[in-house]
Amino acid sequence: MKKILPSILSADFANLERDISELEEIGIDMFHIDVMDGNFVPNISFGFPIIEAIRSKTNKIFDCHLMIANPENYVERFCQAGCDMVSFHIEATNHADRVIQVIKNCGKKAGIVLNPQTPIEQVKYLLPKLDYVLIMTVNPGFGGQKFIPEMLEKIEELANIRVKNNYDFLIQVDGGINTETSKLCRDKGADLLVCGSFLFGAEDKKNTLGDLLR
């Protein structure tokens, strides 16, 4: 089943509770949470206290996207902060297999993220262990960037590998998702579509949500 995950990076940080409950009311059951460290990416978003604060306001699924260097140092704390799914960048660690184990030992779903320039080849050996793979469709760090169309081929390649090997990871995409790019990504095999600025900028979020899956 295809899903839209609103990225709370585009929410109003002074009114997070309001924005989350508004989205819950229109049927959202998974939230995408972008953690940026100012090192792995040239931007800083938020960390544990914010996640813990919103965790107490909703029981929907929290999908945490770690854009941090050396995720092995922090991943357990993100699991404890109340994330249900945790993904980290292959470019950010030399210990990917270990990080996956830590996430799974915490009872959470593990995902790995590939920057646009990173080939699937680099994570091939990890694919059987993963619950999801996130193909970045922009360079991470900011909301509101333009979708990189060359990533469609990468989504297709990953979907083909999945079929061929009978793997069961989900394919997630993140960056520049709107009604048009959502359809293109879904047609290539993407299951989970992160959407930030397009959804939060919409006048009528309920209709937009419908359009994003049409």
- Least CB distance from residue 37 to ligand DX5, whole Å? 12
Q: Which of 10, 23, 34, 75 binds Zn ion (CB under 5 A)?
A: 34
* Distance separating alpha carbons of residues 108 and 102, to the nearest angstrom: 9
Q: Phi first, then psi: what are they for 170, rounded to 5°?
A: -90, 155
Site for Zn ion in 170-189 (CB under 5 A): 174
What is the distance between the alpha carbons of residues 89 and 113, in angstroms, rounded to a whole number? Answer: 5
The footprint of ligand DX5 on residues 150-209 (CB under 6 A) is 174-177, 194-198
Is 174 among the residues known to form the active site? yes
Catalytic residue among 19, 34, 63, 131: 34
User: How far apart, in whole angstroms, are the C-alpha atoms of residue 180 and residue 210?
Assistant: 13
Residue 143 structure tokens:
């909301």
Q: How many CB atoms lie within 10 A of CB 96?
A: 22
- Rounded Cα distance, 34 and 30, in Å: 13
Distance in Å, CB of 26 to ligand DX5, minimum: 17
Q: How far is the CB of 5 from Zn ion (least distance, A)?
A: 9
Which partner, ligand DX5, Zn ion, none, binds residue 195 by CB below 5 to 8 Å per kind?
Answer: ligand DX5
Binding to ligand DX5 by residue 65, rule CB under 6 A? yes
- Catalytic residue ranges: 34, 174
Interface residue list for ligand DX5 (CB under 6 A) = 7, 9-10, 32, 34, 65, 138, 140-145, 174-177, 194-198
